[in-house]
């Protein structure tokens, strides 16, 4: 799949039972709703593809991995319904990652902010580089990381989540993220990162696909309630984004 008409780009290649899904957007690989929906649909499709055992999720370029939600679309939210629908985009994607029968390996080649941290957390195994610092800046703009919180807490725990969330203006290093369990391994550069991903996914794709699918279920035990929880959280964010505080903060942040 290759599409240029979804306010961003999405490309999927499949080779040797490994599907590589690459999303991109000029604004630091941020996510407008159309791109969120496209990645979500692609994961649903790959989950039923017998020619795929492993999915590598990555983004374009050498800059940021993902800057989270589209600021332009956040600013355009005019009522609770629109806000809830917008934040449901991340709920849909995280649930698609959770429910996908294939193991998802994240390639985090740069900084991740907000929803980008949530995506990294929803991967089953994640590789990063030293430049892959993370930040949850949502409180600084008047909202909070409510939709992605379950995925992040599942990986790093509530204590680390509180450090990350309440220090909304601070970057946490890739080493910190590795120590807390968000990143499985961290490399000095993208060349080392890509070499390890090739070796790791080749081995993973050689395993019994039925065993991998059953292991995926085990890894995500106890998360069935996310089918409702994440949308309840989307409504919280949808309400908060309407506040004068958030509108002003978003405009200032965008500058």
Residue 39 lies in a domain: yes
Q: Which residues contact 233 (CB under 8 A, 6 or more apart)?
A: 87, 91, 146, 147, 149, 150
Residue 191: helix, strand or coil by DSSP? helix
Residue 217 lies in a domain: no
pTM: 0.95
Residue 148 lies in a domain: yes
Nearest to 141 by CA among 253, 28, 27: 253
Q: Band the pLDDT of 220: cuts 50, 70, 90.
A: very high
Which residues constitute the domain of residue 103?
2-209+222-254
Residue 215 lies in a domain: no
**Contact by Cβ (8 Å): 155, 163:** no
Query: What is the pLDDT, as a whole number, of residue 68?
Result: 94
Mean residue pLDDT across the chain: 94
Residue 216 lies in a domain: no
User: DSSP readout, 203-254?
Assistant: HHHTS-HHHHHHHHHHHTTT-TTHHHHHHHHHHHHHHHTTSHHHHHHHHHHH
Residue 174 lies in a domain: yes
The domain spanning residue 237 has which CATH number? Answer: 3.90.226.10
Residue 214 lies in a domain: no
Domain count for the chain, please give it.
1
H or E, element range at 177: helix 174-180
Q: Which residues contact 147 (CB under 8 A, 6 or more apart)?
A: 87, 90, 91, 94, 115, 118, 230, 233, 234, 237
Residue 35 lies in a domain: yes
Q: What is the tens place of the pLDDT at every residue in 209-219?
A: 999 999 999 99
According to DSSP, residue 172 is labeled B
Q: What is the tens place of the pLDDT at every residue in 160-204?
A: 999 999 999 999 999 999 999 999 999 999 999 999 999 999 999
Nearest to 143 by CA among 255, 235, 35: 235
């Amino acid at each position: 799949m290759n599409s240029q008409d979804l306010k961003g780009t999405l490309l999927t290649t499949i080779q040797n039972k490994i599907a590589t899904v690459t999303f991109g957007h000029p604004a630091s690989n941020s996510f407008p709703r159309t791109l969120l929906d496209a990645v979500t649909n692609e994961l649903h499709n790959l989950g039923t593809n017998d020619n795929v055992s492993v999915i590598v999720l990555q983004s374009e370029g050498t800059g940021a991995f993902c800057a989270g939600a589209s600021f332009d679309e956040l600013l355009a939210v005019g009522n609770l319904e629109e806000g809830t629908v917008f934040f449901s985009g991340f709920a849909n994607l995280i649930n698609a990652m959770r429910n996908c029968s294939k193991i998802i390996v994240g390639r985090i080649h740069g900084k991740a902010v907000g929803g980008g941290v949530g995506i990294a957390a929803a991967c089953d195994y994640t590789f990063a580089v030293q430049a892959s610092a993370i930040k949850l800046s949502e409180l600084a703009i008047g909202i909070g990381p409510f939709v992605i919180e379950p995925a992040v807490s599942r990986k790093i725990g509530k204590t680390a989540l509180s450090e990350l969330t309440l220090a909304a203006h601070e970057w946490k290093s890739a080493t910190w993220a590795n120590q807390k369990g968000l990143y499985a391994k961290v490399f000095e550069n993208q060349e080392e990162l890509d070499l390890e991903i090739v070796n790791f996914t080749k081995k993973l794709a050689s395993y019994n696909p039925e065993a991998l699918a059953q292991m995926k279920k085990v890894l995500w035990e106890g998360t069935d309630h996310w089918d409702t929880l994440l949308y309840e959280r989307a409504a919280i964010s949808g309400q908060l984004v309407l506040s004068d505080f958030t509108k002003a903060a978003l405009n200032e942040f965008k500058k």
